[in-house]
Chain A
Amino acid sequence: MAAAPKRPFRWHIGVFLAPAVLVYTAIMILPLAGTLQLSLFRNIDQSQVFVGLQNFRMLLGDPNWSVNFWNALGNNVWFFIIHMLVQNPIGVLLAALLSSPRLRFAAFYRTAIFVPTILSFVIVGFAWKLILSPLWGVAPNLLDLIGLKSLFTPWLGKEEYALTTLSLISVWQFVGIPMMLIYAALLSIPEEVIEAAECDGITGMSQFWKIKLPLILPSIGIISILTFVGNFNAFDLIYTAQGALAGPNYSTDILGTFLYRAFFGFQLQVGDPNMGAAIATMMFLIILGGVCVYLFLVQTRLRRYQF
């Protein structure tokens, strides 16, 4: 037997991959590596000195840092829980309503609900600050009209309500995204499946629970992970609505604002890029961990249906 014919080296693969690899490396991998590297150094007498994991030990062990860190992490978890409990169920509900063939003006509702998503955080933060303002806001007046003025409190200024209020504002802004994704998933369910279900006598609510919901579970999984990543990277809304100190009494401080203060400094606080990088690395690890849990434990168990 003659040796198998030698395959020519396939240059085109490398050539076609190169632009994407180069761009991705330059704008994603290098900065990420730079951040990781920065977190292992410390500025001593105007020069960067390698200190190993010292910054992380300080972040988790020194009460001056760790109290703030755990507070921010806890707030972030609550921020995420609100999104999972409120944003995603409402998104699924809206999508189910929109996909109902008997609904009129579906396109209008879809657009109206999606519009806040494309608004800038600055506008959202400012608009809601005004809506909820105890002085000039419409919220106290509206509550007054229906005789519930007593329910009004300055939500954004109260330690116990501020974070939940901000989470709900964020839900208001982003509910359009799960809605759109689920809506698309619902539309892609073939008619035959629905008809078969109807033949078997499964209609109405039970049709949603038994037929449609299992079919859109993979989409819900994707939305959960997008929400997770988005929430743990959040910063803008808190910064525009509450400022960098995330008041009152750090009750709305999340990892993003904590990172901002550490890295860039605030007022008289001088920025510390090394500690900032250490916090950024922790955020990266938390998000990486969450995504891994999802990919290996959840997604592999989701059943896929081929039509």
Chain B
Amino acid sequence: MTTKLLTALLLGTSILGSAGVAYAQDVTLNIESWRGDDLAIWKDKLIPAFEAKNPGIKVVFAPSAPTEYDAALGAKLAAGSAGDLITCRPFDKSLELYKKGNLADLSTLPGMENFSDVAKAAWQTDDGKTSFCVPMASVIHGFIYNKDAFDKLGIKVPETRDEFFAALDKIKADGTYIPMAMGTKDLWEAATMGYQNIGPNYWKGEEGRAALIKGEQKLTDKNWVAPYEELARWKPYLGDGFEAQTYPDSQNLFTLGRAAIYPAGSWEISLFNTQAQFKMGAFPPPVEKAGDTCYISDHTDIGMGLNAASKNADAAKTFLSWVASPDFATIYANALPGFFSLNNTPVKMEDPLAQEFVSWRGKCKSTIRSTYQVLSRGTPNLENETWVESANVINGTDTPEAAAKKLQDGLDSWYRAGK
């Protein structure tokens, strides 16, 4: 890993050096990013595609290590040596940069109209009036299942909750497979793949999330406690010793074919495609009754903004408009199956599993994780507490009501709605 990163960094610097020499008369844009893993995609696919269309603008992708990115970027911005384009973390970290004047206002950038309000929410001021990053990609939650196992046991893909639990019962009764691959040891699985995965169907996605932020709803309300009640019902379907099962354990259980259903995030797709030896399918979180509106967590994860101090702002804006275009979306989404473009124009993807995930956008309403915007600014931190309480509910340490009450009490201690 370290050598890979080092190679990536060295590569990045060497490109930087040579680009400066060879195209001194052209405008060169530097991209700051933490996605070292994407270096090859940028270098071989995205940047050549952009440069072919925009002669005179050269682009250099210069990533730093994910754990160092925020600190390194902060230092570079302060010193005035940061790149022209800045890859944006969602929510507060980028908002802080905008408030400090490091990121330029992009509300009027051509191409921003290609994105829905949910997609832009991660990089807007709290009033939603100003946008400062172009949304690039999101990850979608759902369930990935072992198609071979479902065929063998004669289970059809569940659409309602009753069908879902009936399927789990059937897998458990058969005994060949562990019904569901999830553990509570790492805590976040329970919160992210559990609570935030099935929750939007209960709190009606954006509607509930906005009401929570406005203070019109509380975490102790029925539609926020209900997902915990469902999580508590998952317990008997998890593998033996799930309390000490880690995230990689769950991934391995599923890809080795020992478990039938995996509560997932779409980022798993490329890994699972290379590791699993069986056919896979995916289904969105089941709804209560057939025909109910479904809601999915389509969580905005990565965006790109303009360094307010950039000397090449016009060229950078050209680039950002291209990032906002369907062209970029197609290349990006196909190169990284599981990281979906947020563009309103549907993107044609080759990977069947990725297609399945993204098809839910057509029939379900998208929302983002409930704890990410505004609500995790104080102490105790709502997101971290949600991890702990979600694991507690599955472990049986706390009842759903007790867990919800703890979360709401924690939130009440610092958060006043509308302030």
Question: From residue A246, how far is it (CB to closest CB) to chain B in Å?
Answer: 10
Question: From residue A33, how far is it (CB to closest CB) to chain B in Å?
Answer: 24
Residue in B91, B245, B383, B395 whose beta carbon sits within 8 Å of that of A269 in the complex? B383
In this assembly, does A1 line the interface, its C-beta being within 8 Å of a C-beta of chain B?
no
A65 touches B379 (CB 8 A): yes
Question: From residue B63, how far is it (CB to closest CB) to chain A in Å?
Answer: 21
State which size class the interface on B falls in.
35 or more
Give per-residue flags for A152-172: 1 if the beta carbon is below 8 A from chain B beta carbons, else 0.
111111110000000000000
Question: From residue A238, how far is it (CB to closest CB) to chain B in Å?
Answer: 13
A159 touches B379 (CB 8 A): no
A247 touches B391 (CB 8 A): yes
Give per-residue flags for A199-215: 1 if the beta carbon is below 8 A from chain B beta carbons, else 0.
00000000000000000
Residue in B240, B252, B383 whose beta carbon sits within 8 Å of that of A134 in the complex? B240
Among listed B43-51, B181-189, B218-226, B272-280, interface-contacting one? B181-189
Known: A64-B380, A247-B187. A132 touches B244 (CB 8 A): yes
| A65 to B384 Cα, complex, angstroms | 14
The total number of A-B Cβ pairs within 8 Å is: 107
Known: A247-B388, A250-B388. A154 touches B395 (CB 8 A): no
B397 touches A248 (CB 8 A): yes
Known: A243-B187, A248-B243. A64 touches B388 (CB 8 A): no
In this assembly, does B357 line the interface, its C-beta being within 8 Å of a C-beta of chain A?
no
In this assembly, does B125 line the interface, its C-beta being within 8 Å of a C-beta of chain A?
no
**Nearest neighbor of B243 in chain A, beta-carbon distance:** A157
Which residues of A in the span 115-159 have a Cβ within 8 Å of any Cβ on B?
129, 132-136, 140, 152-159
Known: A64-B413, A269-B384. A154 touches B379 (CB 8 A): no
Residues of B within 8 A of A242 (CB): 185
A134 touches B397 (CB 8 A): no
| A136 to B413 Cα, complex, angstroms | 43
A135 touches B249 (CB 8 A): yes
Known: A64-B380, A135-B239, A268-B381. A249 touches B186 (CB 8 A): no
In this assembly, does A188 line the interface, its C-beta being within 8 Å of a C-beta of chain B?
no
Known: A249-B388, A249-B397. A270 touches B245 (CB 8 A): no
| A61 to B246 Cα, complex, angstroms | 35
Q: Give 6 A-B contacts (CB < 8 Å), ordered by A residue.
A: A64-B380, A133-B244, A154-B241, A157-B241, A247-B388, A249-B388
Please report A residues at the B interface, Cβ cutoff 8 Å.
63-65, 129, 132-136, 140, 152-159, 242-243, 245, 247-250, 261, 266-270, 272
